[in-house]
A = this chain, B = another copy of it.
Amino acid sequence: MKILITSGGTSEAIDQVRSITNHASGHLGKIIAEACLAKGYEVTLVTTKNAVKPASHARLNLVEISNVASLQASLEPLVKNHQVLIHSMAVSDYTPVYMTGLEEVKQAEAIEDLLQKTNSENKISSKDDFQVLFLKKTPKVISQVKEWNPNIQLIGFKLLVGVPKEELFAVARDSIRRNQADYILANDLTEITADQHKAYLLDLKEEYPASTKQEIAQLILEKIAEKGE
């Protein structure tokens, strides 16, 4: 079986020296990749520069991407020739459009006009006391996966921060429906520490709990094996 895994976090450039980065160490993706390799699967790991990576392995193919556009371009052909996608990467929701000083925003006749502008400078000036950065939503890569390959098993991830369990589960199940995911791994940043990673693998009916990254990897592998092969 060929398993596609994403890990790390994307970065969206503001200019040539600054970007907005989604924090993600890559540890969970690394452990899942290692567990898949131990099972004898072929693994393609799409990851980012600063993410931790597994040691090289004959059945491991590493692909490095930076932003949402490069993720999308890399993922489309890979989704078409893999049986499973475990999408643990923290993907940027927004990408910069235009950055300017507060004065230009105050002077604008209509704020929307600024969304048509782009920065021509390579490094945006830092003279103003306040700056304003306009951002637009990135394409939702996870929502395209089943269009690219209706037969792929899709395991998505949903990370929230400090919310009630009911809310976490509701948001995760909403993602299952919208993205035709087979499972969503739902977790809360406040329940992740150096030696604990509480999470729930959800389908529309059940919740399967895990307490460590190793348990998460095993749980995902069990579900893949049940459906897959």
Q: A residues touching B (Cβ–Cβ < 8 Å)? A: 11, 14-23, 50, 90, 92-94, 97, 102, 105-106, 111-112, 115, 121-123, 126, 128-137, 159-162, 189-190
Partner of A132, one of B90, B129, B135: B135
Count of this chain's copies in the oligomeric assembly: 2
A94 lies within 8 A of B126 (CB): yes
Are A137 and B129 neighbours in the complex by a CB distance under 8 Å?
A: yes
Q: Among B19, B122, B132, B162, which residue has its beta carbon within 8 angstroms of that of A23?
A: B19
- Assess the A18–B21 pair: CB atoms within 8 A: yes
With A14-B20, A18-B20, A189-B17 as known contacts, state yes or no: A131 contacts B122, CB within 8 Å: no
A157 to B50 alpha-carbon distance, docked (Å): 25
Interface contact B130-A137, CB-CB below 8 Å: yes
Contact of A162 among B111, B122, B135, B159 (CB under 8 A): B122
Chain B hits for A121, CB < 8 A: 161
Tell me, rounded to whole Å, the shortest Cβ–Cβ distance linking A214 to chain B: 23
**Whole-angstrom distance between the alpha carbons of A101 and B78 in the complex?**
34
Determine if A132 and B134 form an interchain contact, defined as CB atoms under 8 angstroms apart.
Answer: yes
The answer to whether B159 and A17 have CB atoms under 8 Å apart is yes
Please name 22 pairs of A and B residues whose Cβ atoms are closer than 8 Å in the assembled complex, sorted by A: A16-B161, A17-B23, A17-B90, A17-B161, A17-B189, A18-B20, A50-B50, A102-B111, A102-B112, A102-B115, A105-B105, A105-B111, A106-B112, A122-B161, A123-B159, A126-B137, A130-B136, A131-B134, A131-B135, A131-B136, A132-B133, A133-B135
